[in-house]
Amino acid sequence: MEEKIFDLAIIGFGPAAITAGIYASRYKLNSMIIGKTKGGMITTAHLMDNYPGIEDVSGIDFTDKIVKHLEKYKECKIKEDEVIGISEIDNNFFISTKDGENIKSKSLIIATGTEKRKANIKGEKEFIGKGVTYCTTCDGFLYKNKKVVVLGSGDSAFNSALYLSNIAEKVYLICRKCSPSTENKNLIEKVEENEKIEILYETEVEEIKGEKMVEKIITNKKEEIEVSGVFIEIGLIPQSVLFQNLNIEFENNFIKINKYCETSKKGVFAAGDITTGFCELKQVITAEAMGAVSATYANKYLKTK
């Protein structure tokens, strides 16, 4: 019995991966998407309004739309599973998953994105799931009429504060710096105008305290602030550890690609938030563009293989 070999394996399940799957299907490639979280990071977006043609959509509804679009194309198999190992022999790729599957493929698109960064504050680890969270849209509803704090100074922190202002009694937004890191003036304005949000600049959280659940935080100014929830929104870590043994080039753990989404290794492409070198603006629309580019050049690569 001949072993099944895919033309293309797409690792990840966010907008970049899904777009790669759609394009690969249109090129009639026999492909498979393997990812643990349908939609990836975008599912945590409360409201998205910068994807042209789809106004005011939640990350979850947007994910449903693009996954449904992909599912129409039968050429791309979908596997909700976690990749735990990957190796290469003679330009073929061998992927093993948590569910015990072994998948063989002639080419690879890596689109595993990024995950939220930990703050390394005293008490943070202890209170994860007991008041400390990294996903506002997942856990926000738990804090109805309670006091919460958001840590961070970028778009995600400001968006998180806004989102929580609709739920919580009071939102503290704590920035280590003296000004926001985002250039989105629209966003800054909305936060500043919001009566429920209090921004504390040049402030750090030194400790998260409580009995069984979070009760308060202590700042570097030795202030105690009573809160039930601590939302940490301080940046992203590329999910690239798995691919270190593929001998591809990295930069600060992001995967280096050129304008064809090629990595430094033949047959290995990358797209979306995990990449650097091609498109540095991280947005759904740019991730999808890279998904389209990666599938297009994977198709060209397979033709010449």
Q: Are 151 and 219 in contact (CB under 8 A)?
A: no
User: Which one of 61, 64, 81, 135 is the catalytic residue?
Assistant: 135
Segment interacting with a second copy, rule: CB under 8 A, options 91-99, 164-172, 225-233, 272-280: 272-280
Measured CA angle at 220 (ends 215, 222), to 5 deg: 65
281 makes contact with a second copy (CB under 8 A): yes
Catalytic status, residue 135:
yes
292 makes contact with a second copy (CB under 8 A): yes
Segment interacting with a second copy, rule: CB under 8 A, options 43-51, 130-138, 157-165, 226-234: 43-51
Closest approach of Cβ 214 to a second copy, in Å?
33
Catalytic status, residue 99:
no
Which C-beta is closer to a second copy: that of 217 or that of 292? 292
Binds a second copy (CB under 8 A): choice among 3, 252, 280, 304: 280
Which residue in 264, 242, 300, 246 sits closest to 27, CA to CA? 300
Distance CA 65, CA 33 (A): 17
Q: Are 41 and 273 in contact (CB under 8 A)?
A: yes
Q: Are 160 and 152 in contact (CB under 8 A)?
A: yes
Q: Can you tell me whether residue 247 is helix, strand or coil?
A: coil
Which residue in 44, 55, 65, 59 sits closest to 133, CA to CA? 44
Sign of the Cα pseudo-torsion (52, 56, 58, 62, in order): negative
Other C-beta atoms lying within 10 Å of the C-beta of residue 195: 7
305 makes contact with a second copy (CB under 8 A): no
303 makes contact with a second copy (CB under 8 A): yes
Which C-beta is closer to a second copy: that of 52 or that of 129? 52
Give, as one character, the DSSP assignment of residue 207: E
Is residue 19 left, alpha or beta, with left meaning phi > 0 and alpha meaning psi from -120 to 50?
alpha
User: Which one of 7, 139, 175, 279 is the catalytic residue?
Assistant: 139
Site string for a second copy, 186-205 (x = CB under 8 A): x--x----------------
Give, as one character, the DSSP assignment of residue 228: S
Residue ranges in 71-100 that form contacts with a second copy under rule CB under 8 A: 72
Sign of the Cα pseudo-torsion (62, 63, 64, 68, in order): positive
Pairing type for strands 132-133 and 229-232 reads: parallel
Which C-beta is closer to a second copy: that of 92 or that of 283? 283
Binds a second copy (CB under 8 A): choice among 47, 54, 142, 200: 54
Closest approach of Cβ 44 to a second copy, in Å?
18
Catalytic status, residue 138:
yes
Binds a second copy (CB under 8 A): choice among 112, 137, 156, 296: 296
Per CB under 8 A, residues contacting a second copy are: 15, 18-19, 22-23, 25-28, 49-55, 62, 65-66, 68-70, 72, 183-186, 189, 259-260, 278-281, 283, 285-286, 288-290, 292-293, 296, 299-300, 303
User: What is the set of active-site residues?
Assistant: 135, 138-139
